[in-house]
Amino acid sequence: MISLKKNNQNIITKKILLIILDGVGYTEKKADEGNAIDKANLPALKNLWKNHPCIQIQAHGKAVGMPSDEDMGNSEVGHNVLGSGRIFDQGAKLVSNSINSGELFKGKTWTDLILNVKSNSSTLHFLGLFSDGNVHSHINHLTSLIRNAKSDGVKKIRIHALLDGRDVPEKSALEYIDNFEKFLAEIRTPDFDIQYASGGGRMTITMDRYEADWKMVERGWKVHVLGEGRKFSSITEAVETFRKEDPKVIDQYLPEFVIVDEKNEPTGKISDNDSVVFYNFRGDRAIEISQAFSYENFDKFDRVKFPKVYFAGIMQYDGDLKIPENYLVPPPKIDKTLSEYLISEKIKEYALSETQKFGHVTFFWNGNKSGYLDKNFETYHEITSDIIPFDQAPNMKAFEITDNLIEVIKSNEYEFIRVNYPNGDMVGHTGNFHATVKSLEVLDECIQKLITVADETGFVLLITADHGNADEMYQLDKKGKVQFQNGIPVPKTSHTLNPVNLVLYDKENRFGLEKKESSGLANIAGTILDMMGYELPEGFHDSLLKRN
């Protein structure tokens, strides 16, 4: 049984609204260097950042459990850290460690995957994001899995490549393909048959999340399993053809395709008795395809056929729901989260976002746990996201979220409220600079409304972000200069390595913030408990609160 102790400070507030501006990082670069935040008209936010307690904190690399400080943060690890007050080794690092130590290849799941294809003379399939973005996957993990499968006696492998262009440069697919072709040429032998089988852009097929668009998963199923789709003799031909037909299309939105042999037959439909590894380590965009391969009773779309395969994720993407049942690397064990401590003190919480980030303020916030920890003290509210390219609707659901928040704050029912506004991240990922600017200006309107209601109700606002994105929307060279193509800046659609702002708004001016060495997202949970008048639990990172 966990519990909190009161601290000996006199100033206590238990009315806190934590606002997570997803993808809104901090940099001193200007608008012409790709900083949409600098370009946007943000009177409320810029006043907060300039005239109220504000510090910059780390939201990437080792500060969120990634292998190195060269690794971008992401919303999943960011919310894990925000919700737990501690740093846990995360997917990329866990998988790399397990591969490097050899533990992955000694486990029961790997043994069963290999035994299944060897005993049935069948195919081992690898399905996942085909890049080194290290947010959902890393191509080096794929090459290690393939090398070990070959050494373990597998004779036939097929690769289903989900093209990135989101966590890496937007038109970089051919670079990964060319490098991987060299690897294939090195490892392929007359008795080791390895080829591509299918693919498509990550925002076109397979990698939907939060059940926002099951049609994406269905399209993936059709090419990976049924072998139905536009046919090409090679993955290079597929990418080059799509680019010629639409020069504006970027990798993440490339249409689905099937690779065929000289007889015009698919090279690698997933069939009975095959083994399948989904090698993405991040969970949100892995759950739905895992369900399609795992559930006998499945009603999200007509699978046409349901092959009896041995399916495994490189990790288990939902520990509560056991999705998938078989996995190669155990996920981090995150316990004693901020929510658990608040519940122990009977503090009522409210979590809100739209579909695209709802799981972040619930599942990931609570340490990768599905559902409520205690429904008596928690309320979750999801506003359904539109199924539309987000640069076409940069407002997303920001106004609806704000209206709901104002109603909840005024109800005086909840003492701790957390909200995620996805705009800076989801619109930023499209690479559309001007749409991202618009999305940020919408956020600023919403923040001003929340300041007003905070003044009326006595709420204290903590405003931060889980990682950067909108702060750096042009590709930079090694010297930090903007890269151009045909006189136009090359868009950057990935997250950034920049810190994020943490700003505190308190009408009574009772608190300040002090930056400490290596301050990061992990310090926010302790800051919240300190504001509420509690001692920090063992292991929590220090509070950044400074009492005035």
CA 131 to chain centroid? 15
The confidence score (pLDDT) of residue 67 equals 80
| Rounded mean pLDDT, 370-399 | 96
| Rounded mean pLDDT, 160-189 | 96
The whole-angstrom separation of Cα 511 and Cα 532 is 12
CA 523 to chain centroid? 21
The confidence score (pLDDT) of residue 197 equals 98
Model confidence at 383: pLDDT above 90: yes
The whole-angstrom separation of Cα 78 and Cα 47 is 25
The confidence score (pLDDT) of residue 480 equals 85
Q: Specify whether 75 is catalytic.
A: yes
Which tokens sit at 237?
């031909």
Model confidence at 96: pLDDT above 80: yes
Read out DSSP for 58-110? B-SGGGGT-SSTTSPP-HHHHHHHHHHSS----HHHHHHHHHHHT-GGGSHHH
Identify the H or E element spanning 16.
strand 16-21
The confidence score (pLDDT) of residue 21 equals 98
Read out DSSP for 219-288? HHHIIIII--S-EESSHHHHHHHHHHH-TT--GGGPPPEEEB-TTS-BS----TT-EEEE----STTTHH
What does the mean pLDDT of the chain come to?
A: 95
The whole-angstrom separation of Cα 273 and Cα 309 is 5
The confidence score (pLDDT) of residue 42 equals 98
Phi, psi of 158, deg, nearest 5: -125, 140
Residue 211: pLDDT band by 50, 70, 90 thresholds? confident
Evaluate whether 21 touches 471 at the Cβ level (below 8 Å): no
Assess whether the region 23-89+333-547 and the region 92-329 belong to the same CATH fold. no
The confidence score (pLDDT) of residue 530 equals 95
Which carries the bigger pLDDT value, residue 54 or residue 320?
54
The whole-angstrom separation of Cα 228 and Cα 214 is 17
Which tokens sit at 409?
């704050």
Which carries the bigger pLDDT value, residue 544 or residue 322?
544
Instruction: Give the CATH number of domain 23-89+333-547; options: 3.40.190.170, 3.40.720.10, 3.40.50.150, 3.30.70.520.
Output: 3.40.720.10
Pair type for strands 156-163 and 488-489: unpaired
Model confidence at 10: pLDDT above 70: no
| Rounded mean pLDDT, 467-491 | 91
The confidence score (pLDDT) of residue 474 equals 95
Evaluate whether 244 touches 94 at the Cβ level (below 8 Å): no
**Pick the catalytic residue: 3, 75, 122, 353?**
75
Q: What is the pTM for the complete model shown? A: 0.80
Domain boundaries, the chain: 23-89+333-547, 92-329
Using H for helix, E for strand and C for coil, what is the string for 431-455?
Answer: CCHHHHHHHHHHHHHHHHHHHHHHH
The confidence score (pLDDT) of residue 295 equals 95
Phi, psi of 312, deg, nearest 5: -145, 145
Read out DSSP for 454-514? HHHHT-EEEEE-SSBSTT--B-B-TTSPBPEETTEEPB--S-BS--EEEEEE-TT--EEE-
Residue 258: pLDDT band by 50, 70, 90 thresholds? very high
Identify the H or E element spanning 338.
helix 338-344
Model confidence at 346: pLDDT above 80: yes
Model confidence at 320: pLDDT above 70: no
Residue 13: pLDDT band by 50, 70, 90 thresholds? confident
- Residues 242, 243, 249, 251: is their CA dihedral positive or negative? positive
Evaluate whether 157 touches 146 at the Cβ level (below 8 Å): yes
- Residues 186, 187, 193, 194: is their CA dihedral positive or negative? negative
Give the domain 92-329 fold: 3.40.1450
Read out DSSP for 344-409? HTT--EEEEEEHHHHTIIIIITTTS--S-S-TTTEEEEEEPPPSS-GGGSTTTTHHHHHHHHHHHH
The answer to whether the bond into 266 is cis (omega within 30° of 0) is no
